[in-house]
Amino acid sequence: MPTSPSPALVLVHAFPMGSAMWRQQMRVASGWRVIAPPLPGFDGRPLVAEHSMDAYARDLLAQLDEAGIHRAVFGGLSMGGYVIFGLLRQAPERVAGMILADTRTSVDNPDRRAARERSIALARQRGPAAIADEMLPGILGPTTHARRPDVVAQTRALIEAQPAETIAAALEAMMTRPDSLAVLARVTVPTRMIVGAEDTITPPSDADTMHRAIPGSDVIVIPEAGHMANLEAPDAFNAALREFLANPGKFAALRAPR
């Protein structure tokens, strides 16, 4: 398999939407090969037997092998970040840098797990449209709800495009994910956190926690954006991404590689 001639940026999507959520980021930086592989069950990709973030990370690595990409900068939003933590556990040598957007290292508390169980039942009984109804109020910020009906409609369509069983499987995978803060404490690659100022699911305080775990990283807070910062404020999100890709060395982790 030929190896990639350009540096690669791999974008890992959020729950419960597929690769199309990255449409506005696919041409973010000239000279970079940008790919956005779907996680298991999304966009027609087959489900995997084990519903876990580590299984999703394994599937992603297999797709990168097929694409001839050995090492890449990874950008993950929310669940996409959880999958990148799985990559760090399994194959840290393949991660050349990270954009961790609107994500967190902590596990679900009992209330959150109970809510996930209810969402699994909802997805199976009433389908993706009911999941979109449930999620849209919280997943987008108040500014987007007030001023960007096009983004609200686009986000609904992204959710409704995915099968109910894929949504149920991803909920199960997320509710059993391990705490990943200790994994970040071993990171030696350039890292930037991006978070919407109006994100109440993974607020800026979660980005600060990750930033403190990786000396040398930084945090960009995007005004007037909620949990889906790349959809809600694509210009600001892309500027933050582009600045990082132009000079990753500026964000190098301030600790010696192991």
Contact set with ligand MLT (CB under 6 A): 14-15, 78-79, 174, 201, 227
Q: Which is nearer to ligand MLT, 41 or 190 (CB)?
A: 41
Cβ(16)–Cβ(159) below 8 Å: yes
Dmax over CA atoms of the chain, in Å, equals: 51
Q: Retrieve residue 236's tokens.
A: 């600001």
Nearer to ligand MLT, 95 or 228 (CB): 228
Torsion-angle region of residue 16: left (phi > 0), alpha (psi -120 to 50) or beta? Answer: beta
The tokens describing 175, both together, are 């509710």
User: In angstroms, what CA-CA distances link 49 with 54, 64, 254?
Assistant: 12, 20, 39
> Closest approach of Cβ 252 to ligand MLT, in Å?
27
Q: How far is the CB of 249 from ligand MLT (least distance, A)?
A: 29
Q: Sign of the C-alpha dihedral, residues 27, 33, 34, 37?
A: positive
Looking at the Cβ atoms of 14 and 195, the one nearer to ligand MLT is 14
Based on CB atoms, which residue is closest to ligand MLT, 56 or 251? 56
Residue 6 CB, shortest distance to ligand MLT, in Å, is 28
The CB-of-171 to ligand MLT minimum distance in angstroms stands at: 8
